[in-house]
Amino acid sequence: MKKEEIVIGAVGDISFGDGYLCCGFGVRSRMEQCGPEYIFDEIKSDLLDNDLLFGNLEGVLSSSNFKRYSLKSFQMRGKENSIVSLRDGGFTVLSLANNHIMQHGKVAVLDTVKLLNLNGISSCGIRTNDGTCGKPYIFCQDGISIAFLAYNARPKQYFTDNPLDIPFTIDDALTDVREFKDKVHLMVVSMHWGDEFIHIPSAAQQAIAHQLVDSGVNLILGHHPHVMQGVEQYKESLIFYSLGNFVFDMPWYPDSNKSCIARIKFHKLKKKLSYEIIPIKINGNYQPEVMSEKDGAEFLKRVEYLSNLIAEINRKYNYEEYYIHGLDHFTRRERSLSHKYWLSNIRRYPAFFLVQYMLEVLMRRIRLFRGTRSKEKK
């Protein structure tokens, strides 16, 4: 008997590589010690309790051109055997449209796409010549069809040529949505957008989200800020502006370690969406786990507050001024905490990485000094 309701599980950023400030003791390093399957041990039942599961894979799973002792080559690069955790965790489709996917070159991206496909996991937000992925990915079950589009709205990084991930332009996105919206029951768009560490979307993001909904999008899943942002119901559609981090190594910034599994239900006959949020924290082993009842209740109140804040700011303040002030505050806060973290953990870094860190700091200081001198001369 076919079901009339389908459940979509959605999570935030997933990185199986060591982040910049954790090279030598981050996610990848811990997975090498404990085995790739351990990362979802604390939450597997919640991941599998969905008809399909979506996330944003922030970085490649490839050893292409890998140099073990190069900080640049090592960071934000997952091992191929990390696919075990994604496969056994029940992931159906992953967006690869983000600012880190091209960090290690085209071959590494294509390796990742192939690896996902071989393990029954689809991709969206990437263009390949052989057609193994692209736009959109269409999921079908029990007579319900769902299309997933994914875009990277962040500036180009790490790559000077045309990237494989799909850059966002509103015209292209609207064209894509209009082409497919009448062919499926549900239209989903993943957006890699916004600024890091701030808890509200910008006015520009709101405008884009509303345009997408007006064109036929039912569900928007946002990533990149590394923190949870509010949820907006606009017309009959749902907008998750940022789902935060799901697997990441940012222990210095407490808010980056709190996120959720968004469980979205779509009823075929009623054509309505509803959702619940399962509060998640990243523990000391970089594993996502369900929060305690007390912490979870506080987190849900926080999400409700952030959701209401979007409308509240629009009513009471100049939204753009409020956003710029908030962005400055949270950027300064994260920068201060990250500096303290680096200094307090300096003994943990492998010597070959530590030397490279110090050289990078020295080069930044030299460039800053030269820039200041150049301005003084003018």
The CA distance from 18 to 250, in Å, is 10
Q: What is the C-alpha to C-alpha distance for residues 371 and 286, in angstroms, rounded to an integer?
A: 39
**Alpha-carbon gap, residue 72 to 161, rounded angstroms:** 19
The most confident of the ranges 84-98, 157-171, 256-270 is 84-98
Helix, strand, coil percent values for the chain (each to nearest 5): 40, 25, 35
Whether the per-residue pLDDT at 310 is higher than 90: the answer is no
236 pLDDT tier (thresholds 50, 70, 90): very high
Does 377 score more than 60 pLDDT?
Answer: no
What's the rounded mean pLDDT across residues 75-83? Answer: 97
pLDDT band of residue 332 (cuts 50, 70, 90) is: very high
Residue 374 has pLDDT above 60, yes or no: no
Measure the CA–CA gap between 278 and 95, rounded to whole angstroms. Answer: 21
Complete DSSP assignment for 271-329: TEEEEEEEEEEE-TTS-EEEPPHHHHHHHHHHHHHHHHHHHHHHHHS-HHHHHHHHHHH
Q: Mean pLDDT lowest for which of 6-10, 16-20, 163-167, 295-299? A: 163-167
350 vs 341: CA distance, rounded Å: 16
Rounded percentage of the chain residues whose pLDDT exceeds 90? 83
* Confidence (pLDDT) at 1: 53
Residue 284: HSE in the Cβ half-sphere, 13 Å Cα cutoff:
0
Mean pLDDT across 2-21: 93
pLDDT in tens, 28-49: 999 999 999 999 999 999 999 9
Please give the pLDDT value at position 320: 86
Distance CA 45, CA 325 (A): 41
pLDDT tens string 348-373: 999 999 999 999 888 888 777 666 55
| Pair of tokens at residue 80 | 């191929």
Cα–Cα distance between 121 and 54 in angstroms, integer? Answer: 10
pLDDT at res. 128: 77
Name which of 26-40, 109-123, 246-260, 311-325 the model is least confident about.
Answer: 311-325
What confidence category does residue 98 fall into, taking pLDDT thresholds of 50, 70 and 90? very high
The total of other beta-carbon atoms located within 10 Å of residue 318's CB is 12
The predicted model gives 313-335 an average pLDDT of 89
Query: Residues 125-140: pLDDT tens digits?
Result: 998 776 566 678 999 9
The reported pLDDT for the residue numbered 365 is 82
pLDDT in the model for residue 262: 98
**Confidence band (pLDDT; 50, 70, 90) for 190?**
very high
pLDDT of amino acid 372: 56
CA 54 and chain centroid, separation: 11
DSSP per-residue letters across 85-134: HHHHTT--EEE--STTTTTT-HHHHHHHHHHHHHTT-EEESB--TT-SSB
Give pLDDT, residue 131.
59
pLDDT interval class at 295 (50, 70, 90)? very high
What pLDDT does 92 receive? 97
Confidence band, pLDDT 50/70/90 cuts, at residue 323: very high
